[in-house]
A and B are shown apart, each in its own frame.
Chain A
Amino acid sequence: DSGVTQTPKHLITATGQRVTLRCSPRSGDLSVYWYQQSLDQGLQFLIQYYNGEERAKGNILERFSAQQFPDLHSELNLSSLELGDSALYFCASSSGQGAGNSPLHFGNGTRLTVT
Protein backbone atom coordinates (compact mmCIF):
# COMPACT_ATOMS: atom_id res chain seq x y z
CA ASP A 1 0.00 0.00 0.00
CA SER A 2 1.58 3.26 -1.20
CA GLY A 3 -0.54 5.43 1.09
CA VAL A 4 -1.97 7.34 -1.89
CA THR A 5 -5.75 7.01 -2.18
CA GLN A 6 -7.66 7.49 -5.40
CA THR A 7 -11.40 7.43 -5.93
CA PRO A 8 -13.35 6.15 -7.71
CA LYS A 9 -11.67 2.95 -8.92
CA HIS A 10 -13.82 2.71 -12.00
CA LEU A 11 -15.85 5.28 -13.91
CA ILE A 12 -18.03 4.70 -16.95
CA THR A 13 -19.54 7.70 -18.65
CA ALA A 14 -20.72 8.95 -22.02
CA THR A 15 -19.05 11.25 -24.51
CA GLY A 16 -19.55 14.93 -23.77
CA GLN A 17 -19.86 14.40 -20.03
CA ARG A 18 -17.70 15.74 -17.20
CA VAL A 19 -16.10 13.73 -14.39
CA THR A 20 -14.00 14.45 -11.31
CA LEU A 21 -11.23 12.19 -10.07
CA ARG A 22 -10.01 12.54 -6.52
CA CYS A 23 -6.65 11.87 -4.88
CA SER A 24 -5.36 11.99 -1.32
CA PRO A 25 -1.55 11.99 -1.08
CA ARG A 26 0.58 10.10 1.41
CA SER A 27 0.76 11.68 4.82
CA GLY A 28 3.43 14.37 4.80
CA ASP A 29 3.75 14.61 1.00
CA LEU A 30 3.18 18.07 -0.41
CA SER A 31 3.42 17.27 -4.13
CA VAL A 32 0.68 15.63 -6.15
CA TYR A 33 1.09 14.50 -9.75
CA TRP A 34 -1.45 13.32 -12.28
CA TYR A 35 -0.58 10.86 -15.04
CA GLN A 36 -2.65 9.31 -17.82
CA GLN A 37 -1.85 5.79 -18.99
CA SER A 38 -3.25 4.33 -22.17
CA LEU A 39 -2.14 1.13 -23.89
CA ASP A 40 -0.24 2.76 -26.71
CA GLN A 41 1.14 5.84 -24.97
CA GLY A 42 2.45 4.66 -21.64
CA LEU A 43 2.43 6.97 -18.64
CA GLN A 44 1.91 10.57 -19.74
CA PHE A 45 2.50 13.38 -17.27
CA LEU A 46 -0.41 15.78 -17.00
CA ILE A 47 0.21 18.19 -14.13
CA GLN A 48 1.86 18.64 -10.73
CA TYR A 49 0.83 20.65 -7.67
CA TYR A 50 3.02 21.50 -4.73
CA ASN A 51 1.43 22.75 -1.53
CA GLY A 52 -1.59 24.09 -3.38
CA GLU A 53 0.23 25.76 -6.26
CA GLU A 54 0.66 24.49 -9.81
CA ARG A 55 4.29 23.46 -10.16
CA ALA A 56 4.67 21.79 -13.56
CA LYS A 57 2.47 21.19 -16.55
CA GLY A 58 2.76 18.40 -19.08
CA ASN A 59 0.57 17.46 -22.02
CA ILE A 60 -2.68 18.31 -20.34
CA LEU A 61 -5.59 19.14 -22.63
CA GLU A 62 -7.50 22.39 -22.19
CA ARG A 63 -10.60 20.28 -21.44
CA PHE A 64 -8.81 18.97 -18.35
CA SER A 65 -8.11 20.94 -15.19
CA ALA A 66 -6.86 20.18 -11.71
CA GLN A 67 -6.44 21.76 -8.33
CA GLN A 68 -4.95 21.00 -4.94
CA PHE A 69 -6.87 22.00 -1.86
CA PRO A 70 -5.59 23.30 1.50
CA ASP A 71 -5.82 19.78 2.98
CA LEU A 72 -3.53 18.72 0.09
CA HIS A 73 -6.00 16.43 -1.62
CA SER A 74 -6.28 17.00 -5.35
CA GLU A 75 -8.99 16.71 -7.97
CA LEU A 76 -8.65 16.21 -11.72
CA ASN A 77 -11.61 17.44 -13.75
CA LEU A 78 -12.16 16.04 -17.22
CA SER A 79 -14.84 17.68 -19.37
CA SER A 80 -16.35 17.29 -22.83
CA LEU A 81 -15.15 13.72 -22.70
CA GLU A 82 -14.17 11.90 -25.87
CA LEU A 83 -13.70 8.21 -26.56
CA GLY A 84 -9.94 8.75 -26.65
CA ASP A 85 -9.96 9.91 -23.04
CA SER A 86 -10.59 6.34 -21.93
CA ALA A 87 -7.51 5.42 -19.90
CA LEU A 88 -6.10 4.71 -16.46
CA TYR A 89 -5.54 7.93 -14.53
CA PHE A 90 -2.93 7.74 -11.81
CA CYS A 91 -2.24 10.13 -9.02
CA ALA A 92 1.15 10.09 -7.34
CA SER A 93 2.67 12.00 -4.46
CA SER A 94 6.17 12.82 -3.27
CA SER A 95 7.83 14.74 -0.51
CA GLY A 96 9.91 16.92 -2.82
CA GLN A 97 9.03 20.08 -4.70
CA GLY A 98 10.13 18.85 -8.08
CA ALA A 99 10.06 15.54 -9.85
CA GLY A 100 13.40 13.86 -10.37
CA ASN A 101 14.95 13.95 -6.94
CA SER A 102 12.52 11.94 -4.85
CA PRO A 103 10.48 8.88 -5.78
CA LEU A 104 6.83 9.14 -6.71
CA HIS A 105 4.36 6.93 -4.90
CA PHE A 106 1.36 5.99 -7.00
CA GLY A 107 -2.25 5.39 -6.11
CA ASN A 108 -4.15 2.44 -7.58
CA GLY A 109 -5.60 4.57 -10.34
CA THR A 110 -9.03 5.37 -11.71
CA ARG A 111 -10.05 3.45 -14.81
CA LEU A 112 -12.15 5.77 -16.98
CA THR A 113 -14.23 4.33 -19.78
CA VAL A 114 -15.98 6.74 -22.13
CA THR A 115 -18.72 5.18 -24.24
Chain B
Amino acid sequence: GQNIDQPTEMTATEGAIVQINCTYQTSGFNGLFWYQQHAGEAPTFLSYNVLDGLEEKGRFSSFLSRSKGYSYLLLKELQMKDSASYLCASGGYSGAGSYQLTFGKGTKLSVIP
Protein backbone atom coordinates (compact mmCIF):
# COMPACT_ATOMS: atom_id res chain seq x y z
CA GLY B 1 0.00 0.00 0.00
CA GLN B 2 0.91 3.65 -0.04
CA ASN B 3 0.74 6.43 2.52
CA ILE B 4 1.65 10.07 1.93
CA ASP B 5 1.79 12.86 4.49
CA GLN B 6 2.18 16.57 3.92
CA PRO B 7 1.13 19.61 5.94
CA THR B 8 -2.42 20.79 5.38
CA GLU B 9 -1.73 24.51 5.17
CA MET B 10 1.18 26.96 5.06
CA THR B 11 1.46 30.72 4.82
CA ALA B 12 4.44 32.64 3.48
CA THR B 13 5.28 36.20 2.48
CA GLU B 14 5.68 37.45 -1.07
CA GLY B 15 9.35 37.36 -2.09
CA ALA B 16 10.27 34.78 0.56
CA ILE B 17 11.27 31.11 0.30
CA VAL B 18 9.01 28.28 1.44
CA GLN B 19 9.67 24.56 1.82
CA ILE B 20 6.81 22.06 1.64
CA ASN B 21 7.65 18.66 3.07
CA CYS B 22 6.28 15.28 2.11
CA THR B 23 6.87 11.86 3.64
CA TYR B 24 5.79 8.69 1.94
CA GLN B 25 5.63 4.96 2.52
CA THR B 26 5.38 3.22 -0.82
CA SER B 27 5.89 -0.37 -1.87
CA GLY B 28 7.79 -0.72 -5.11
CA PHE B 29 8.54 3.01 -5.17
CA ASN B 30 9.68 4.34 -8.53
CA GLY B 31 9.17 8.08 -8.51
CA LEU B 32 8.00 11.16 -6.63
CA PHE B 33 6.01 13.92 -8.30
CA TRP B 34 4.93 17.40 -7.28
CA TYR B 35 1.88 19.06 -8.77
CA GLN B 36 0.38 22.51 -8.36
CA GLN B 37 -3.38 22.92 -8.23
CA HIS B 38 -5.24 26.22 -8.12
CA ALA B 39 -8.71 26.05 -6.61
CA GLY B 40 -11.21 24.45 -8.96
CA GLU B 41 -8.60 23.84 -11.64
CA ALA B 42 -6.63 20.86 -12.92
CA PRO B 43 -3.38 19.79 -11.24
CA THR B 44 -0.34 20.78 -13.29
CA PHE B 45 2.97 18.92 -13.24
CA LEU B 46 5.87 20.69 -11.49
CA SER B 47 8.66 18.18 -10.92
CA TYR B 48 9.72 14.54 -10.86
CA ASN B 49 12.42 12.87 -8.76
CA VAL B 50 13.45 9.27 -9.13
CA LEU B 51 17.02 9.49 -7.78
CA ASP B 52 18.19 11.03 -4.50
CA GLY B 53 19.11 14.68 -4.63
CA LEU B 54 17.91 18.06 -5.74
CA GLU B 55 16.25 18.88 -9.06
CA GLU B 56 16.10 22.59 -9.87
CA LYS B 57 13.69 24.16 -12.31
CA GLY B 58 13.64 27.95 -12.20
CA ARG B 59 12.07 29.18 -8.95
CA PHE B 60 11.02 25.65 -8.01
CA SER B 61 13.28 22.86 -6.71
CA SER B 62 12.44 19.40 -5.46
CA PHE B 63 14.48 17.09 -3.28
CA LEU B 64 14.24 13.36 -2.70
CA SER B 65 15.72 11.00 -0.12
CA ARG B 66 14.58 7.46 -0.90
CA SER B 67 16.14 5.96 2.22
CA LYS B 68 14.16 8.35 4.40
CA GLY B 69 10.96 8.29 2.34
CA TYR B 70 11.13 12.07 2.23
CA SER B 71 10.79 14.82 -0.32
CA TYR B 72 10.38 18.57 -0.29
CA LEU B 73 9.37 21.23 -2.73
CA LEU B 74 11.21 24.54 -2.43
CA LEU B 75 9.64 27.67 -3.85
CA LYS B 76 11.84 30.77 -4.09
CA GLU B 77 10.97 34.43 -4.69
CA LEU B 78 7.34 33.75 -3.89
CA GLN B 79 4.71 35.51 -5.95
CA MET B 80 1.03 36.00 -5.19
CA LYS B 81 0.16 33.66 -8.06
CA ASP B 82 1.94 30.83 -6.20
CA SER B 83 -1.02 30.67 -3.81
CA ALA B 84 -2.34 27.20 -4.58
CA SER B 85 -2.38 23.64 -3.30
CA TYR B 86 0.78 21.61 -3.80
CA LEU B 87 0.28 17.88 -4.19
CA CYS B 88 2.94 15.29 -3.47
CA ALA B 89 2.45 12.01 -5.34
CA SER B 90 4.38 8.76 -5.30
CA GLY B 91 4.35 5.91 -7.78
CA GLY B 92 4.27 2.39 -6.39
CA TYR B 93 2.29 -0.75 -5.79
CA SER B 94 -1.16 -0.29 -4.29
CA GLY B 95 -2.75 -2.58 -1.74
CA ALA B 96 -4.70 -4.20 -4.56
CA GLY B 97 -1.47 -5.21 -6.29
CA SER B 98 -1.63 -2.79 -9.19
CA TYR B 99 0.86 -0.06 -9.92
CA GLN B 100 -0.47 3.44 -9.44
CA LEU B 101 0.25 7.08 -8.64
CA THR B 102 -1.04 8.01 -5.20
CA PHE B 103 -1.54 11.62 -4.21
CA GLY B 104 -1.28 13.23 -0.82
CA LYS B 105 -4.13 15.47 0.28
CA GLY B 106 -2.15 18.56 -0.67
CA THR B 107 -0.66 21.55 1.11
CA LYS B 108 -2.61 24.76 0.67
CA LEU B 109 -0.10 27.59 0.39
CA SER B 110 -1.22 31.16 0.96
CA VAL B 111 1.17 33.89 -0.13
CA ILE B 112 0.57 37.18 1.66
CA PRO B 113 1.90 40.65 0.74
Contact = CB atoms under 8 A, between A and B. Distances in A.
A25 interface: no
Interface residues of A, number: 26
B45 A101 contact: no
A42 B88 CA distance: 11
Interface string B79-109: 0000000010111101010111111111000
Contacts of B70: none
A103 B48 CA distance: 8
Contacts of A44: 103
Interface string A75-115: 00000000000001010000000111101111111000000
A18 interface: no
Contact-size category for B: 20 to 34
Contacts of B98: 48, 55-58
A2 interface: yes
Given A57-B98, A100-B99, A42 B105 contact: yes
Nearest to A88: B40
Interface of A: 2, 33, 35, 41-45, 48, 55-58, 88, 90, 98-101, 103-109
